[in-house]
Amino acid sequence: MSGTSSGWTRRDFAGGAALLALALGIPAAAVKLTDLDAADAPSDRQRKLIAEVSELVIPKTDTPGAAEVGVGDFVILALAHGLSGTRDPVATGVITPALAPFRRRDGSLSHLDWLESRLDHAAGGDFLRRGQDEQLRLLTAIDGEAMARGAEYSPWVAIKGLILTGYYTSEVGGSQELRYELVPGKWEPDIPIQPGDRAFSSDWTAVDFG
């Protein structure tokens, strides 16, 4: 197929299959990133970075954390294939001087390059060399800045959204972190909630319909 076709290319299909494999909980080691274009392929450091950042967002508790589920690789593939509009051109009006170096020729942003630079800048050096508590403090500050009311456009919003999507649509996230109940079921308008009860994965789609 040509690159201008409106249908799926083999690359699109392979990428979609890889994303589906990760979402179904297949170990990240079984999903190859070698088919990505050179512009989308992460460095080894970036792959480690997004895995650690994913784990900071959803750490291991009594259920596996995001790194163990392979969410980092899900995010890499999702970014490469434009999930959540991450390959759409960003309007010139929202491109700040800090974002300009990460703008691609097609107008979209290189989210992984931005994340690597932003975290290292916040750490005053190598983010990966900081202790976990310090990493969490730095990431929390970036998150608070990006999520604040009236905040400037930040690639972190999309990255965090993909981390949550990757985890909660995985087998582990959907059946262990959340409770799965086959639907349709009986109508229960008022269900008592006890401390420690988990939300239902069948009520959560990770899709914004707004």
Query: Do residues 72 and 28 lie in contact, with contact meaning Cβ atoms separated by under 8 Å?
Result: yes
Res 36 pLDDT > 90: no
pLDDT at 168: 81
Whole-angstrom Cα distance, residue 61 to residue 3?
44
Stated pTM of the model: 0.72
At which residue do the structure tokens 């990505």 appear? 36
CA-wise closest residue to 90 among 147, 152, 4: 152
Query: Do residues 155 and 46 lie in contact, with contact meaning Cβ atoms separated by under 8 Å?
Result: no
Res 19 pLDDT > 80: no
Query: Do residues 42 and 52 lie in contact, with contact meaning Cβ atoms separated by under 8 Å?
Result: no
Length of the chain: 210
Where residue 194 falls (left for φ over 0; alpha for ψ -120 to 50; beta otherwise) is beta
C-alpha triplet 102, 55, 62: angle, nearest 5°: 165
What is the overall mean pLDDT for the chain?
A: 78
pLDDT at 195: 78
Query: Do residues 39 and 104 lie in contact, with contact meaning Cβ atoms separated by under 8 Å?
Result: yes
**2 within some domain:** no
**210 within some domain:** no
Whole-angstrom Cα distance, residue 162 to residue 199?
19
Whole-angstrom Cα distance, residue 111 to residue 166?
16
For residue 28, what pLDDT band results from cuts at 50, 70 and 90?
A: very low
In the chain, % of residues over pLDDT 70: 67
Res 204 pLDDT > 50: no
**1 within some domain:** no
End-to-end CA distance of the chain: 34
Residue 64 is part of which domain span?
10-203
**3 within some domain:** no
Query: Do residues 31 and 22 lie in contact, with contact meaning Cβ atoms separated by under 8 Å?
Result: yes
**CA diameter of the chain:** 56
Mean pLDDT comparison of 28-37, 39-48, 177-186, highest-scoring range: 39-48
Q: Please count the structural domains in the chain.
A: 1
User: CA-CA-CA-CA torsion for 24, 30, 34, 36, nearest 10 degrees?
Assistant: 0
pLDDT in tens, 104-133: 999 999 999 999 999 999 999 999 999 999
pLDDT at 134: 97
